Structure 1
Amino acid sequence: MFLTYRRFRRCPCVQLITTCLVLSAVMVCWEQLDANVVSHVKSYSFRYLVNSFSSMNRSLTIPREQARRFSDFPYLLDHPDKCVGKDVLLLLFVKSSPENIERRNAIRSTWGNETYIQNNLGVTVKVVFALGAIQTKTDEPSWSRRSGVGFQDQLIKEDHLYGDLIQKNFLDSFHNLTLKLILQFHWMHSRCAHARFFMTADDDIFVHMPNLVGYLQDISSRGVTDFWIGRVHRGSPPVRSKHSKYYVSSEMYQWFSYPDYTAGAGYVISGDVADKIHQATLTLNASLHIDDVFMGICANSIGVSPQEHAYFSGEGKAPYHPCIYNQMMTSHGHVEDIYELWKTVIDLRVKQKTSGLFSRLYCTAMKIALLCRPQFFNTYPCKAAFL
């Protein structure tokens, strides 16, 4: 009734059909296998065996006159005096699209509220939003062009009210995120160079500001330098599939692996690193549109490596639980729930419920149950449960 191995060997026809089926399956899946397996094998081999990006640094280095085209855009909105006369612990740049006013307002009312931070945490944190320009096309109808101008007028009114929009005259799009990153480093260099730390974040991220401020105060008291922390990607290969928005051609980036970098959702560097990155952007080709990878290229050129922090999120959203909030730094993918989450994490009863020996044991068990599951691999790693 069942086909045994011996019978299988005696039936060439069955063997032939089985072989054809296997080969067909491999051919159908080959493109995905190549993208997900072969590229990673090449990447890790390059990263851990060759482990040299010196040729990359030389290839991407260009004259300053050419590099200037990535930063020489006029300001449409600016606040040069934002940091003047203040001891700034952290300059926090939020990457935002012009139309995301509700997200910006949510941040201003929650974790990015400078008044709350100053009054309740006792430090100065400056929160500003990095924007590009709104797209308007000359071949569009006149009413459409007028609506674009009107939207810029809305941004001007928003900025007049809050005084926290930093906008340059390049198109705000996914493929210009590297230009937006360069904007941030150039603005810090010229407007807020004395800030002890710099952070860049997406506008759908949640930052546990009390935890982050306490952590940075401790780091600052120890006089740390060459500091770069976040969710680290090591040995990541370029995406060669033209169907992906992360597609990078071999002509643009010819190597099998990217230098180590942190997820662009949110990471923190010390002021000395921010200054070195600014200097690197003055001589590197910034055509690569993936901003967190470009950050890794800049850091590699100056000899700075990222450090992993278990409670900096990647692309995933952290589980909702008091035991998680106790150590949370960032969590990604928050828009509608940001008000409720902020109200919950700053509730003093959360700290009280998670303090004490039995509470810590309980939280360890809960974090193991929450984090040591495959679906949370892109939020916090399993090891975070034991910290």
Structure 2
Amino acid sequence: MFVNLRRIRKCKCVLLMTTCMFLSMVMVCWEQLDSSALGHVKSYSYRYLVNRFTAINKTFTIPREQARRFSNFHYLLDHPDKCTGKDVLLLLFVKSSPENIERRNAIRSTWGNETFIQKALGVTVKVVFALGAPVTKKGEPVWSKRSEVGFQQELAHEDRLYGDLIQQDFLDSFHNLTLKLILQFHWMHRSCAHARFLMTADDDVFVHMPNLVSYLQRMSRRGVTDFWIGRVHKGSPPIRNKSSKYYVSPEMYPWLSYPDYTAGAGYVVSSDVADKIYQATLTMNASLHIDDVFMGICANAMGVSPQEHVYFSGEGKAPYHTCIYDRMMTSHSHVEDIHDLWKAATHPRVKQRTSGLIGRLYCTVAKLALLCKPYYVDTYPCKAALL
């Protein structure tokens, strides 16, 4: 009896300690739980049950004279004749920072090589890089300091060699990404409006150009309109954590959910959608610094909705595998490995190994193992394995 009482007391002590530890963890994590899980519940409820995005459109609409300050920047580097006299399938804007010359050179020698695309794929794709003014650690233009004037001169030299830099004099920073988005749509409207598609991508994104070109050719033959594809975010809530670079204040955006939008890492729109976005930017308040969300707001105002393409990556890196390369469109976070990935993904053996009944069955099994994980991976969804 005495032994049983001791065991009961011991069990109670263990249970009490476990409960205290659990409650402590809940208290520590409550703020994160409230801002993430609960935030998504509120956002999805707003998006699917309320969905009054018309109020967002009205709030962000401003007079043209005021909106002009977001686009009325001086061109430091420009090539207005780049598309003249050419049947352009795709205008591809790569968002790049001035200092990322190695990334730009890697793109020029791999998936962004216009000569390769023309000769091997038989279409004209124009690849240009969108840049702002170089920024010092103090947040000033580099040429405002005499000792750093050479930075812009280096960019001018790079542009003389390659002729593909489109640069305006706003400061190139994360909080000016929306200005860089506006630059792209305004430049297309002015200098390459006849291009059938526009793509915007980060400079650490890998684009499987043969797959993309083949897909866009099929879409072009169908005469698609209102075409906007990428990794779609639905019912995403604004981030209220002030320590996050994606923080948006309730004063700037008081609603519980953003309109649907595609991940800014890489997406494609048809020319008619590009023109609609251009028109929207003429009367939109672009103070919201998250460029892909601002794109969603502009598109929503013009009645355009994004379409999911399972082989457009979000923030994640696609698995390295032959069966993935066969269907890949984009993959994120590639810098040092871009040359090796380009060689592997475009090698003729990819189509050889993935074709035929055996190849398709093998790839289905392989992709199920690679993509259908029990935990969240922000790359291709599980359903991509069956397509």
Q: Is the counterpart of residue 121 in structure 1 residue 142 in structure 2?
A: no
CA shift in 2, pair 1:355/1:16, >3 Å: closer
The residue that corresponds to 1:216 in the other structure is 216
Q: 1:376 to 1:82 in 2, by over 3 A?
A: farther
After superposition, what is the alpha-carbon deviation per residue over 1:233-280, rounded to whole angstroms, capped at 9, x for unaligned?
000000000010100000010000000000000000000000000000
Q: Normalising by the residue count of structure 1, what TM-score does the alignment of the two structures yield?
A: 0.94
Q: Structure 1: which amino acid aligns with 2:83?
A: C
Which deviates more from structure 2 when the two are superposed, residues 17-26 or residues 295-304? 17-26
2:199 maps to 1:199:
yes
Does residue 77 of structure 2 align to residue 77 of structure 1? yes
Which region of structure 1 is more displaced relative to structure 2, 30-39 or 202-211?
30-39
Deviation of 1:227 after TM superposition, in Å, equals 0.2
State which drifts further: 350-359 or 89-98: 350-359
State the alpha-carbon separation in 1 of the partners of residues 118 and 153 from structure 2.
31
Counterpart of 1:235 in structure 2 is 235
Please state whether the residue corresponding to 1:297 is helix, strand or coil: helix
Residue 52 (structure 2) aligns with = 52
Alignment of 1:148-297 (within 5 A): 148-297=148-297
Cα drift, residue 110 of structure 1 = 0.4
Is 1:260–1:305's contact at 8 Å kept on the other side of the alignment? yes
Number of the residue aligned with 2:135: 135
Q: 1:58: Cα distance to partner?
A: 0.4
1:188 is displaced (CA, Å) by 0.3
Instruction: For residue 146 of structure 1, report the CA deviation from its aligned partner.
Output: 3.0
- Mean Cα deviation higher: 309-318 or 26-35: 26-35
In structure 2, relative to structure 1, the CA distance for the partners of 1:15 and 1:161 (3 Å cut) is closer
Q: Which amino acid aligns with 1:94?
A: V
* Residues in 2 aligned to 1:382 and 1:278: alpha-carbon distance in whole angstroms: 35
Q: Find the aligned partners of 2:4 and 2:290 in 1 and give their Cα distance.
A: 53
Q: Which residue of 2 aligns with 1:355?
A: 355
Structure 1 residues 277-305: Cα deviation after superposition (integer angstroms, max 9, x where no partner): 00000101100100000000000000100
Q: Which residue is 1:68 aligned to?
A: 68
2: CA distance, partners of 1:143 / 1:119? 40
The one-letter code sitting in structure 2 at the alignment partner of 1:124 is: T
Counterparts of 1:137 and 1:113, CA distance in 2: 33
Whether the 8 Å CA contact 1:178–1:288 is kept in 2: the answer is yes
Q: Secondary structure at the match of 1:91?
A: strand
RMSD: 2.4
TM-score by length of 2: 0.94
Give the aligned residue type for 2:67: A
| Contact 1:92-1:125 within 8 A present in 2 as well | yes
DSSP-derived class of the 1:211 partner: helix
CA contact (8 A) 1:201 1:264 kept: yes
Q: Which residue of structure 2 aligns with residue 367 of structure 1?
A: 367
Rounded to whole Å, the distance in 2 between the matches of 1:332 and 1:143 is 32
Q: Identify the residue that residue 89 of structure 1 maps to in structure 2.
A: 89
Which runs of no fewer than 5 residues in structure 1 stay unpaired? Answer: none
| Residues 337 and 147 of structure 1: CA distance in aligned 2, closer, same or farther (over 3 Å) | farther
Is residue 342 from structure 1 mapped to residue 342 from structure 2 by the alignment? yes
Distance in 1 of aligned mates of 2:296 and 2:144: 39
* Residues 358 and 53 of structure 1, relative CA distance in 2, 3 Å threshold: same
* 2:109 aligned partner: 109
The secondary structure found in structure 2 opposite 1:201 is strand
- What's the secondary structure of 1:167's corresponding residue? strand
Cα offset, 1:343, TM superposition: 1.2
Alignment-mate amino acid for residue 129 of structure 1: F
What secondary structure, in the 3-state scheme, does the structure 2 residue paired with 1:92 have?
strand
CA distance in 2, matches of 1:356, 1:194: 38
Question: Residue 383 of structure 1 aligns to which amino acid in structure 2?
Answer: K
* Structure 2 residue identity aligned to 1:266: G
Following TM superposition, by how much is the alpha carbon of 1:15 offset from its aligned partner in structure 2, in angstroms? 8.3
| Cα displacement (A) at 1:224 | 0.4
User: Kindly tell me: are residues 322 and 22 of structure 1, through their superposed partners in 2, closer, same or farther at Cα, counting changes over 3 Å?
Assistant: closer
Q: Which amino acid aligns with 2:58?
A: R
Offset of residue 22 of structure 1: 4.5
Deviation at 1:349, TM superposition (A): 1.6
3-state SS, counterpart of residue 168 of structure 2: strand
Counterparts of 2:33 and 2:349, CA distance in 1: 49
Structure 2: 5+ residue stretches without partners: none
Distance 1:143 1:92, change over 3 A: closer
Which SS does the other structure have where 2:149 is aligned? Answer: helix
SS of residue paired to 1:219: helix
Q: Deviation of residue 14 (structure 1)?
A: 8.7
The residue type paired with residue 45 of structure 1 is S
Query: Structure 1: which amino acid aligns with 2:279?
Result: Q
- Provide the residue aligned with 1:100 in structure 2: 100
Q: Distance in 2 between matches of 1:338 and 1:293?
A: 28
Cα separation, 1, equivalents of 2:99 and 2:340: 23
CA positional deviation for 1:148: 2.6
Decide whether the 8 Å contact of 2:259 with 2:297 is kept in 1: yes
8 Å contact from structure 1 (residues 316, 376) kept in 2 = no
